């Protein structure tokens, strides 16, 4: 038991350090890490579907990684929208190739391929439009960093309050261990931190925008966790992978961020940048 706790803690420390460094050091370290994350997460997602052939997985991984890199280059002003054309060809190819699948349910295979692209590559690619200013095209990583910090704080607060106070199930059918007490505990901790960070760095974010982003992050991070739990229950697996000792797979660690990121982007575009 103690060994598992130590392993989980060490893995978590290394994971946080790598993510923070990649986001803050340089745009290219950012795109390198998250392109790799997209590729691994798509592999794990496709592996949940036992009928998905290896060659389709490889093509899907390459396409998803291409989408993230393409949106990075476009959001940063390095290239025009034409960089998206090959990805459009890929999407059309998936639909056409479903006609030639010699499987019992080609529509399901096609749907899983496209859903994996949308769910992982598509939603995570919105992170690129957060780290680049849409007008100046300058790299501004602080909003993206806040999303991750809010997610981690929410996980910590939800875990601590859940194991001590949790009685009322949040979503019994999908995730029996999650409780309303855990959700509220994570939300309170995240909001408190958001106020503190706004007080120390008012030039980056006002306190009310910081609190609003914290709330949006917590709500959609919770939904993201539940959606991935639903996927794993459907595929009858406990974890998406084994890459991170004590934590499962990459998709297990990024499930909250996957849904929180586009939600925060909408808030930023509607209320901060507008």
Note the pLDDT tens digit of each residue in 233-273. 888 888 888 888 777 899 999 999 999 999 999 999 999 99
d(CA 142, CA 158): 24
Print burial letters for 232-244: b (CB count within 10 Å at least 16), e (below 16): beeeebeebbebb
CB atoms near residue 181 (< 10 Å): 18
d(CA 121, CA 109): 17
DSSP 127: T
pLDDT > 90: percent of the chain: 71
Which one is predicted more confidently, 203 or 225?
Answer: 225
d(CA 18, CA 25): 10
Q: Is the pLDDT of residue 17 over 90?
A: yes
Residue from 129, 136, 120, 147 nearest 215 by CA: 147
d(CA 187, CA 235): 30
Half-sphere exposure at residue 194, Cβ-oriented, CA atoms within 13 angstroms: 29
Domain that holds residue 153: 2-272
Please give the pLDDT value at position 176: 84
Number of structural domains (the chain) is 1
Among 21-30, 89-98, 236-245, where is mean pLDDT lowest?
Answer: 236-245
d(CA 26, CA 182): 35
Please give the pLDDT value at position 84: 97
pLDDT > 70: percent of the chain: 97
For 106-129, what is each residue's pLDDT tens digit? 888 888 899 999 999 999 999 999
121: its two tokens: 């590559």
d(CA 66, CA 89): 12
Length of the chain: 274
Please give the pLDDT value at position 24: 95
DSSP 178: E
Quick check: 101 and 109 in contact, CB under 8 A? yes
Calculate the alpha carbon distances from 34 to 66, 124, 136, 262 in Å: 11, 8, 23, 15
What's the chain's Rg over C-alpha atoms?
19
22: its two tokens: 């990649």
Q: Is the pLDDT of residue 50 over 70?
A: no
Strands (E) across 87-159 are located at: none
The secondary element (H helix, E strand) that includes residue 111 is helix 106-116
Q: Is the pTM of this model over 0.85?
A: yes
Among 1-15, 37-51, 132-146, where is mean pLDDT lowest?
Answer: 1-15
Quick check: 250 and 215 in contact, CB under 8 A? no
Cross-strand partners of 248: 244
Q: What SS3 class is residue 139?
A: strand
Rounded to the nearest 10 degrees, the angle between the axes of helix 27-48 and helix 207-235 is 30
For 146-179, what is each residue's pLDDT tens digit? 999 999 999 999 999 999 988 889 888 888 889 9
């Amino acid at each position: 038991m103690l060994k598992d706790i130590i392993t989980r803690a060490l893995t978590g420390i290394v994971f946080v350090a790598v993510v923070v460094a990649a986001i803050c050091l340089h745009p290219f370290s950012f795109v390198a890490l998250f392109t790799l994350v997209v590729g691994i997460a798509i592999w794990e997602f496709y592996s949940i579907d036992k009928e998905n052939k290896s060659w389709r997985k490889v093509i899907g991984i390459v396409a998803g990684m291409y989408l993230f890199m393409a949106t990075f280059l476009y959001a940063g002003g390095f290239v025009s929208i034409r960089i998206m054309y090959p990805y459009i060809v890929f999407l059309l190819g998936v639909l056409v190739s479903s006609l030639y699948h010699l499987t019992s349910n080609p529509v399901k295979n096609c749907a899983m391929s496209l859903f994996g692209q949308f769910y992982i590559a598509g939603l995570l690619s919105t992170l690129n439009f957060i780290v680049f200013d849409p007008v100046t095209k300058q790299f501004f990583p602080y909003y993206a960093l806040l999303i991750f910090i809010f997610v981690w704080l929410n996980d910590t607060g939800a875990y601590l309050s859940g194991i001590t106070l949790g009685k009322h199930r949040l979503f019994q059918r999908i995730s029996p261990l999650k409780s309303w007490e855990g959700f509220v505990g994570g939300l309170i901790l995240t909001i408190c931190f958001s106020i503190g960070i706004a007080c120390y760095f008012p030039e980056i974010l006002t306190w009310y925008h910081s609190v609003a982003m914290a709330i949006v992050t917590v709500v959609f991070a919770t939904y993201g966790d539940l959606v991935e739990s639903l996927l794993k229950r459907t595929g009858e697996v406990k974890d998406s992978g084994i890459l991170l000792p004590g934590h499962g797979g990459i998709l297990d660690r990024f499930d909250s961020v996957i849904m929180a990121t586009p939600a925060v982007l909408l808030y930023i575009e509607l209320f901060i940048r507008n």
